[in-house]
């Protein structure tokens, strides 16, 4: 008899881990945007101009929201309420005065359009090395966010945090709250 | 792959004046290196790159690829000065491709066939061209066209962090990433595996475990989370069975999105 070995791909069979991380990060950026490194350095996360959702239930549909603070839109909350998770987002990460914008694709953790701070340095070589340092710093910050997520996701705290995310998803978005005032 | 600090500080003047690699805006995929890669501070590393360097298209080749320097895709001169950037080794995979234009090929083929048929008829022949002759004719024209076609040229920068055994491929293109993976393996006899959320999570939790808290078993037992509520107590008019919020939204729940529409 031949024993069946589970097929494990690059995603470890948990292709939802990345989207769960990004969805959690979206909520966390609204609830408490500050992340702290062990040395006390603070990193702030803000979701920017692009959100891409994917349905996890029967119909794996995608919804893309662009421009005009989509995170505050009712469409984004509706997507969350309907069980979709974030698969890509444009994010602003700030550490001190340094700001970095990038698009994170959650399924692969690939990064696109990463804009590093203007590098300081007199020579081209100095500026290149400054860019490499900034990239290193960026990856440390991204790891900090992922590690923070994992410490919750893999612990008993996840149920409570999930409940908070669902309650947030069900609450009116900033756009929805603004509507009566506009009317 | 241990770094040699003494060698790492060497930055020849030639490199300083030729540093055209820029990283202000970038897109990348990350890989973890599995296997032993020679230290980029040593000769062996540069020799391996040279062995698998880019060579221009020859004869009827349609594709060729190989390593070039990160600063200039025309150069394959690998040494400490052209490769090392701080703690990173930087080089690039150049890929040249060319293809005979199908429309041009068909047009030339048609003209040639017509000319041959006419010549055959004028000579009192049957005025037919056999299958083999057609195939040879097409292949000859394709070869001629290929020689006249300029290749498309791409170069994908690769940043190797020897201390961390990390590789950054500065493109998100799937084909390019696969090619880098293949050529890296061919060059250094080492695998590179994508640093997916799963892979990176394992590594981060492993680091946490060293500090005391081991959450790795919980990672193995994860189940998918549904961020929406699975069922809604009240049924939507006209709907059958339990209604999920998912179905409401995906069916175009205008009431949920625009409360005033239902008023």
User: How many domains is chain B built from?
Assistant: 3
Sheet strands (E) in chain A: 34-36, 42-55, 62-66, 84-95, 98-105, 110-115
In chain B, which residues have pLDDT < 50?
A: 1-19, 232-263
Instruction: For A161, list phi and psi in degrees, rounded to 5.
Output: -70, -40
Query: How confident is the model over A123-131, as a mean pLDDT?
Result: 87
Would you state the structure tokens that stand for residue A91, as one six-digit string?
Answer: 């994010």
Taking only the tens place, the pLDDT of each residue in B169-195 is 999 999 999 999 999 999 999 999 999
Say yes or no: B175 and B241 in one domain: no
- A57-62 long-range contacts, Cβ below 8 Å, gap at least 24? A57/A83, A57/B226, A57/B244, A57/B246, A58/B246, A59/B246, A59/B250, A61/B250, A62/A87
The pLDDT, as a whole number, for residue B242 is 31
Sign of the four-CA dihedral B229, A89, B200, B214 = negative
Would you state the structure tokens that stand for residue A18, as one six-digit string?
Answer: 């990345």
Say yes or no: B190 and B93 in one domain: yes
Asked if the structure places residue A66 within a domain, the reply is yes
Mutate one of B13, B15, B224, B249 to test the A interface: name it (highest A CB count within 10 A).
B249
Distance CA B250, CA B228 (A): 13
- Yes or no, beta carbons of B218 and A154 under 8 Å apart: yes
Say yes or no: B243 and B141 in one domain: no
pLDDT band at A61 (very low <50, low <70, confident <90, very high): confident
Say yes or no: B50 and B78 in one domain: yes
Residues of chain A in contact with residue B22, where contact means CB-CB under 8 angstroms, are: 128, 131
Asked if the structure places residue B209 within a domain, the reply is no
Asked if the structure places residue A146 within a domain, the reply is yes
Taking only the tens place, the pLDDT of each residue in A152-178 is 998 889 999 999 998 888 877 777 777
Asked if the structure places residue B131 within a domain, the reply is yes
The pLDDT, as a whole number, for residue A167 is 87
The pLDDT, as a whole number, for residue B176 is 94
Asked if the structure places residue B40 within a domain, the reply is yes
Sign of the four-CA dihedral A168, A143, A140, B79 = negative
Asked if the structure places residue A177 within a domain, the reply is no
Taking only the tens place, the pLDDT of each residue in A40-57 is 999 999 998 898 988 866
Asked if the structure places residue B250 within a domain, the reply is yes
Asked if the structure places residue A111 within a domain, the reply is yes
Contact of B86 with chain A, judged by CB distance below 8 Å, is answered with: yes
pLDDT band at A4 (very low <50, low <70, confident <90, very high): very low
The pLDDT, as a whole number, for residue B20 is 53
Distance CA B17, CA B15 (A): 5
Query: How confident is the model over A96-118, as a mean pLDDT?
Result: 91
Distance CA B184, CA B191 (A): 8
**Pick from A49, A128, A120: which is nearest to A90 by CA?**
A49
Pairing of strands A84-95, A62-66: unpaired
Contact of A181 with chain B, judged by CB distance below 8 Å, is answered with: no
Distance CA A91, CA A104 (A): 7
The pLDDT, as a whole number, for residue A12 is 62
Residues of chain B in contact with residue A115, where contact means CB-CB under 8 angstroms, are: 24-25
- Yes or no, beta carbons of B257 and A75 under 8 Å apart: yes
The pLDDT, as a whole number, for residue B261 is 37
Distance CA B241, CA B247 (A): 11
Say yes or no: B184 and B248 in one domain: no
Say yes or no: B85 and B134 in one domain: no
Q: Closest chain B residue to A127 measured between Cα atoms?
A: B22
- Yes or no, beta carbons of B205 and A150 under 8 Å apart: yes
Say yes or no: B22 and B116 in one domain: no
The pLDDT, as a whole number, for residue B246 is 39
Q: Are B34 and B192 in contact (CB under 8 A)?
A: yes
Say yes or no: B87 and B110 in one domain: no
Sign of the four-CA dihedral A154, A155, A157, A160 = positive
Say yes or no: B123 and B183 in one domain: no
The pLDDT, as a whole number, for residue B2 is 40
Domain that holds residue B236: 231-256
Other beta carbons within 10 Å of B92: 24
Domain that holds residue A151: 17-169
Residues of chain B in contact with residue A17, where contact means CB-CB under 8 angstroms, are: 197-198, 201, 222
User: Does pLDDT of A31 surpass 60?
Assistant: yes
Asked if the structure places residue A12 within a domain, the reply is no
Say yes or no: B128 and B164 in one domain: no
Q: Give this complex's ipTM.
A: 0.84
Q: Closest chain B residue to A132 measured between Cα atoms?
A: B23
The 3-state DSSP composition of chain A as helix, strand, coil percent (nearest 5) reads 45, 25, 30
Say yes or no: B61 and B25 in one domain: yes
pLDDT band at A181 (very low <50, low <70, confident <90, very high): low
Say yes or no: B74 and B156 in one domain: yes
Other beta carbons within 10 Å of A135: 20
pLDDT band at A64 (very low <50, low <70, confident <90, very high): confident
The pLDDT, as a whole number, for residue A13 is 66
Q: Closest chain A residue to B203 measured between Cα atoms?
A: A147
The pLDDT, as a whole number, for residue A57 is 60
Distance CA B83, CA B42 (A): 11
Asked if the structure places residue B206 within a domain, the reply is no
Distance CA B233, CA B214 (A): 39
Would you state the structure tokens that stand for residue A177, as one six-digit string?
Answer: 């709250």
- Yes or no, beta carbons of B204 and A147 under 8 Å apart: yes
């Amino acid at each position: 008899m031949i024993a069946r070995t589970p097929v494990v791909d690059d995603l470890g069979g948990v292709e939802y881990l990345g989207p769960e991380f990004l969805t959690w990060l979206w909520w966390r950026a609204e609830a408490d945007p500050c992340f702290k490194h062990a040395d006390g350095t603070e990193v702030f996360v803000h979701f920017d101009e692009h959100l891409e959702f994917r349905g996890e239930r029967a119909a794996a549909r995608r919804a893309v929201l662009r421009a005009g603070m989509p995170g505050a839109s009712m469409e984004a909350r509706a997507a969350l309420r309907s069980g979709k998770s974030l698969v890509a987002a444009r994010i602003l990460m700030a550490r001190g005065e340094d700001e970095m914008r990038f698009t994170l694709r959650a399924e692969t953790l690939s990064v696109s359009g990463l804009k590093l701070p203007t590098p300081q340095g007199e020579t081209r070589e100095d500026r290149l090395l400054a860019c490499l340092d900034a990239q290193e710093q960026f990856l440390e910050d991204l790891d900090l966010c992922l590690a923070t997520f994992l410490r919750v996701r893999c612990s008993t705290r996840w149920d409570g945090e999930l409940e908070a995310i669902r309650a947030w998803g069900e609450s009116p978005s900033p756009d929805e709250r603004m509507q009566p005032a506009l009317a | 792959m241990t770094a040699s600090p003494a060698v790492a500080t060497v930055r020849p003047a030639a490199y300083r004046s030729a540093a055209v690699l820029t990283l202000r805006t970038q897109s990348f995929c990350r890989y973890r290196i599995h296997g032993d890669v020679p230290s980029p501070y040593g000769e062996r590393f540069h020799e391996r790159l040279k062995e698998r360097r880019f060579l221009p298209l020859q004869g009827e080749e349609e594709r060729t690829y190989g390593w070039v320097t990160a600063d200039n895709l025309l150069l394959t001169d690998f040494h400490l000065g052209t490769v090392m950037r701080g703690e990173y080794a930087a080089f690039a995979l150049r890929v040249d491709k060319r293809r005979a234009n199908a429309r041009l090929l068909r047009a030339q083929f048609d003209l040639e066939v017509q000319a041959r048929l006419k010549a055959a008829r004028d000579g009192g022949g049957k005025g037919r061209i056999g299958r083999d002759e057609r195939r040879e004719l097409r292949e000859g024209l394709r070869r001629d066209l290929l020689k006249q076609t300029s290749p498309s040229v791409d170069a994908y920068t690769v940043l190797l962090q020897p201390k961390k055994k990390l590789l950054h491929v500065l493109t998100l293109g799937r084909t390019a990433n696969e090619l880098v993976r293949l050529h890296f393996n061919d060059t250094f006899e080492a695998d590179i595996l994508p640093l997916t959320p799963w892979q990176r999570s394992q590594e981060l939790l492993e680091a946490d475990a060293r500090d005391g808290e081991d959450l790795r078993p919980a990672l193995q037992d994860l189940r998918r989370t549904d961020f929406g509520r699975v069922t809604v107590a009240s049924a939507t008019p006209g709907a059958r069975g339990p209604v999920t919020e998912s179905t409401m939204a995906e069916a175009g729940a205008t009431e949920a999105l625009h409360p005033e529409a239902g008023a």
